[in-house]
A and B are shown apart, each in its own frame.
Chain A
Amino acid sequence: MADVSYRELSFNGLWKNNPAIVQLLGLCPLLAVTGSVVNAIGLGVATIMVLVCSNTSVSLIRNIVSDAVRLPAFVMIIAAAVTCIELLMQAFAYEMYQILGIFLPLITTNCVILGRADGFAAKHGLGPSIYDGFIMGVGFTAILVLLGGLRELSGTGALFANMDLLFGPGAANWEMVVIADYQPFLLAILPPGAFIFTGLIIAVKNLIDDRIKKRQDALKEKPVKGSKRVRVTGTIS
C-alpha cells in the first residue's frame, strides 16, 4: 500500500470528498438534528469519536480478519464504539443525550463510518487510519455546525442558544441575539428547512469548485509566447 500524504487526507476529508456534501452520507442525522448549533456540535463530536475509535480498531485487526466476515466484524466494532460514546454522553451531558435521542445509537448505521472503515482503514496502517477518521469526522461536523448555525439563525434570529447543555453552566449566556424582535421562521427549523439549506450549501460548494476549475483552465490555455501563426482551420489533435 502506497504511502498516503496527510495533506491529501485533510483536503479530502474537509473539502474534495467531504462526507456530508460530496459523498452525501449520513444524511439522516445531518438533516434531523441540525436545528441548532448545540445539537450539531453534540452529534458532530460523537461522530468524530466513533470514527476515530472504529478506524483505529479496524486498522489494527485488518490483517487478522478474513475478507468474508469483515463487514460483520466492522459493524460489531462500530456498534461497540457507539455504545461507549452513548454511555459517556449519558454520564456527562445528559440533556444533550436526551435531545439527540435515537440519532445517537443510529450513528452505528451512519454510512460515513462503515464507509471509512471498509474503504480506508481496512487497507491502511494505523497512523493514516486514525487521521483519516478524525479528519472525515471534522469535515462532517463542520457541515453539521454550518447547517445548524444557518437554520438556528434563520429560524429563531439568534445563535448559540442552550450551549450550557454541552459546555457546562458557564456557557449559558453564550446566546447571541443577532436580530431583535425576530419572527420565528418555523420552516427553517422544520425538516424542509434542512433539505433546502443542505441543497444551498452543496450549490455553493459546486459554485466554488467551478470557479477554481475555470481559473485553472484559463491558466493552462495560455498561448505559447512568440508564436505568430494562428491555425484557423480544423482541430489540433
Chain B
Amino acid sequence: MRITSPHAHGPMSTPRVMLNVLLATVPGIVVMTHFFGFGTLVNILWGGLVAVACEALALKLRGRPLGFYLKDYSALVTATLLCIALPPYSPWWLIAVGIASAILLAKHLYGGLGYNPFNPAMAGYVILLISFPVQMTAWAPPRGVGELPGLLEALQACFTPAAFDGVTMATPLDVMKQNNSLLVKDLWQQNPQFGRWAGVGWEWANLAFLAGGAWLLYKRIFTWHAPVAMLAALTLMAALFNDGGSSASGGSPLFHLLSGATMFGAFFIVTDPVTSAVSVRGRLVYGAMIGALVYIIRVRGNYPDAVAFAVLIMNFAAPFIDYYTQPRTYGHQRSGGGE
C-alpha cells in the first residue's frame, strides 16, 4: 500500500522505530547466547546501564530535557548494537569506554541524535579496536568446540576480569585470513570452528540477524536498497575473487555472507537513517560501496572483520553521494546534480 500526500496517517515516532529495532535484535542475541554463552547478554545489560548514564549526563550538560530524550531509546539501541559487536566476556571497563566514546564523542559532541555524521556504535567499536586490539580480537569458542562459561562466570568475566580465566579462539574470518598454506577444504577439516557453511554459531547468528532484518523491512522501518546493495556487492566481490578453494582464497560468497558481522551490519548498521545516504539511488551506491569495502578490508586489511571500518568510511562519503544522486524535483528538469 502506498500512501500519497493528502492522507493523514500515523507516522512512526522515534521511540517506536527504536523499540522495533531493539525487538529485531532479539533472535540474533538469542542465537549468540546459545552458541557463545551469556557473555553477550552481560555485555548488553552493563552496556545499557552505562549508555543511559552517559546519555543522561550529556543531556544534563547540554541543558536538554532529560525525560523526553531518554524515552526515545536511542541510547539503548546504540548500546545494544555495540555490545552485540563486542566479544562476549569483555571486561567492564572495555564496554564502558566503548559506550562512553559512542554516546559522548560520536553522538553528543556532534549535536545529539540526528546530527551525528558517524554511526555511534561503529565509532565506539573502532575506537576500542584500535585502542585495545588484544581484548577486541579475543572471541570465545562456540558451543561444541569449547567449554561454555555459565552465567556466574560470565558476570565474573565482566566485573572481575583479573579473576576470570577464559578460553579464546580465533574467529573463522581470522583463520581464513591468516591461512597461507592450507587448501580451504583442509582448513575446514583441521579447524573445529568451521561449521556447515561458515563458522560454527556464526552462520546461525547471521541467519537470525537476517530474520530480524527481514521483519524490520516488513515493518517498513527502512527500505531494502542499502542492505540488499551491500549483500549483493559483497557476494559479487567474493564470487569474482573466489578461486575454488586454494590456500590464497579469500573465502566463498556464502562464507562471507554468513561470517562475522555481515547480516548484523547489513540490516542494523547500514540502515541507520542518520548516517547513511538518503536518496534511493544514493542508498544503492552507499550500500554497494560498503559491501565492496567489507570484502577488500576483510581479505587485504589487518583486522579480522571490516564492517565497522567500511561503514565509517562510507559515513564520510554519504553527504557526497547524496549530492550527486539528488532525485529530480517534480516539475523540474533533471539538473546536473547538486544545484
Chain A residues engaging chain B, CB cutoff 8 angstroms: 183, 185-188, 190, 196, 199
**Does B130 sit at the interface, judged by CB under 8 A?**
yes
Cβ-neighbour of A187 out of B93, B131, B135 (below 8 A): B131
Indicate if the CB atoms of A185 and B105 lie closer than 8 Å: no
Query: In the complex, what residues of B have CB within 8 A of residue A183's CB?
Result: 93, 132, 135
Indicate if the CB atoms of A196 and B130 lie closer than 8 Å: no
* Chain B interface, >50% SS class: helix
Indicate if the CB atoms of A186 and B130 lie closer than 8 Å: yes
Indicate if the CB atoms of A185 and B130 lie closer than 8 Å: no
Interchain pairs with CB closer than 8 A, number:
17
Query: In the complex, what residues of B have CB within 8 A of residue A196's CB?
Result: 105
In the complex, what residue of chain A is closest to B161 when comparing beta carbons? A183
Query: In the complex, what residues of B have CB within 8 A of residue A199's CB?
Result: 109
Query: In the complex, what residues of B have CB within 8 A of residue A185's CB?
Result: 97, 131-132
Query: In the complex, what residues of B have CB within 8 A of residue A190's CB?
Result: 130
**Does B127 sit at the interface, judged by CB under 8 A?**
yes
Q: Which 10 pairs across A and B sit closest by C-beta, in order of nearness?
A: A187-B131, A186-B131, A185-B131, A187-B127, A186-B130, A187-B130, A183-B132, A190-B130, A196-B105, A183-B93
Query: In the complex, what residues of A have CB within 8 A of residue B131's CB?
Result: 185-188
Number of residues on chain B facing chain A (CB within 8 A): 10
6 CB < 8 A contacts A-B: A185-B131, A186-B130, A186-B131, A187-B127, A187-B131, A196-B105
Chain B residues engaging chain A, CB cutoff 8 angstroms: 93, 97, 105, 109, 127, 130-133, 135
In the complex, what residue of chain A is closest to B101 when comparing beta carbons? A187
Measured CB to CB, the closest approach of chain B to A180, in angstroms, equals 12
Give the distance in Å from the alpha carbon of A183 to the alpha carbon of B128 in the complex. 12
In the complex, what residue of chain A is closest to B162 when comparing beta carbons? A181
In the complex, what residue of chain B is closest to A203 when comparing beta carbons? B109
Query: In the complex, what residues of B have CB within 8 A of residue A186's CB?
Result: 130-133
In the complex, what residue of chain A is closest to B94 when comparing beta carbons? A183
In the complex, what residue of chain B is closest to A183 when comparing beta carbons? B132
In the complex, what residue of chain B is closest to A189 when comparing beta carbons? B131
In the complex, what residue of chain A is closest to B128 when comparing beta carbons? A187
Measured CB to CB, the closest approach of chain A to B98, in angstroms, equals 11
Interface centre among B97, B127, B131, B132 (most CB of A within 10 A): B131
Query: In the complex, what residues of A have CB within 8 A of residue B93's CB?
Result: 183
Measured CB to CB, the closest approach of chain B to A159, in angstroms, equals 19
In the complex, what residue of chain B is closest to A186 when comparing beta carbons? B131
* Interface contacts beyond A185-B131, A187-B127: sample of 14 additional A-B pairs, CB < 8 Å, sorted by A: A183-B93, A183-B132, A183-B135, A185-B97, A185-B132, A186-B130, A186-B131, A186-B132, A187-B130, A187-B131, A188-B131, A190-B130, A196-B105, A199-B109
Query: In the complex, what residues of B have CB within 8 A of residue A187's CB?
Result: 127, 130-131
Measured CB to CB, the closest approach of chain A to B131, in angstroms, equals 4
Give the distance in Å from the alpha carbon of A190 to the alpha carbon of B127 in the complex. 11
Give the distance in Å from the alpha carbon of A183 to the alpha carbon of B97 in the complex. 12
Measured CB to CB, the closest approach of chain B to A186, in angstroms, equals 4
Measured CB to CB, the closest approach of chain A to B10, in angstroms, equals 41
Give the distance in Å from the alpha carbon of A185 to the alpha carbon of B127 in the complex. 10
In the complex, what residue of chain B is closest to A187 when comparing beta carbons? B131
Measured CB to CB, the closest approach of chain B to A155, in angstroms, equals 9
Give the distance in Å from the alpha carbon of A187 to the alpha carbon of B144 in the complex. 36
Give the distance in Å from the alpha carbon of A37 to the alpha carbon of B19 in the complex. 47
Query: In the complex, what residues of A have CB within 8 A of residue B109's CB?
Result: 199
Query: In the complex, what residues of A have CB within 8 A of residue B130's CB?
Result: 186-187, 190
Query: In the complex, what residues of A have CB within 8 A of residue B135's CB?
Result: 183
Query: In the complex, what residues of B have CB within 8 A of residue A188's CB?
Result: 131
Measured CB to CB, the closest approach of chain B to A181, in angstroms, equals 8
Give the distance in Å from the alpha carbon of A158 to the alpha carbon of B39 in the complex. 31
Measured CB to CB, the closest approach of chain A to B339, in angstroms, equals 33
Give the distance in Å from the alpha carbon of A183 to the alpha carbon of B131 in the complex. 9
Measured CB to CB, the closest approach of chain B to A154, in angstroms, equals 10
Query: In the complex, what residues of A have CB within 8 A of residue B97's CB?
Result: 185
Interface centre among A185, A187, A188 (most CB of B within 10 A): A187
In the complex, what residue of chain B is closest to A199 when comparing beta carbons? B109
Measured CB to CB, the closest approach of chain B to A28, in angstroms, equals 22
Give the distance in Å from the alpha carbon of A188 to the alpha carbon of B105 in the complex. 13
Give the distance in Å from the alpha carbon of A190 to the alpha carbon of B133 in the complex. 14
